Amino acid sequence: MSITVVADTHADGGDLTHQDAGDALTPRQAAAAIFSSRLSELIAESVVSTEDGSTRSLTLYSLAQHLELAYPDVPVSQSGLYRLIHGDAIPRLDLVIALARVFDVPPEYFVTEEKKR
């Protein structure tokens, strides 16, 4: 399986302040929101090449399978990726590095508000 990231030409400004000014995000919430946004964008832009040569959208299941094969020492599951996408969890550093390698982005892409690819 190969994963291809297609550049999004309609990228928004990446504004992650969805709450009112009086409801500032905690550092943990801000980190989860930034990571969730970045990972969601990469997954939405990605396609998977199948053995028969066709392509399809990347799913959390196929991403988890790819990570398990490529990085067997990095524990990951479909449900764990779901929690990350929805901002319910903070990723471990080894997973951030593995995801950065899979999507060919620097690891800091997942933790900074400014988009740098």
**pLDDT tens per residue across span 77-97:** 999 999 999 999 999 999 999
Residue 3 forms beta bridges with which residues?
48
| Alpha helix stretches (DSSP H) within the chain | 27-45, 60-70, 78-85, 93-103
Q: What is the pLDDT of residue 51?
A: 85
Query: Which 8-state DSSP code applies to residue 88?
Result: S
The whole-model pTM stands at 0.77
Q: What is the pLDDT of residue 1?
A: 61
Please state, for a pLDDT cut of 70, what percent of the chain lies above it. Answer: 78
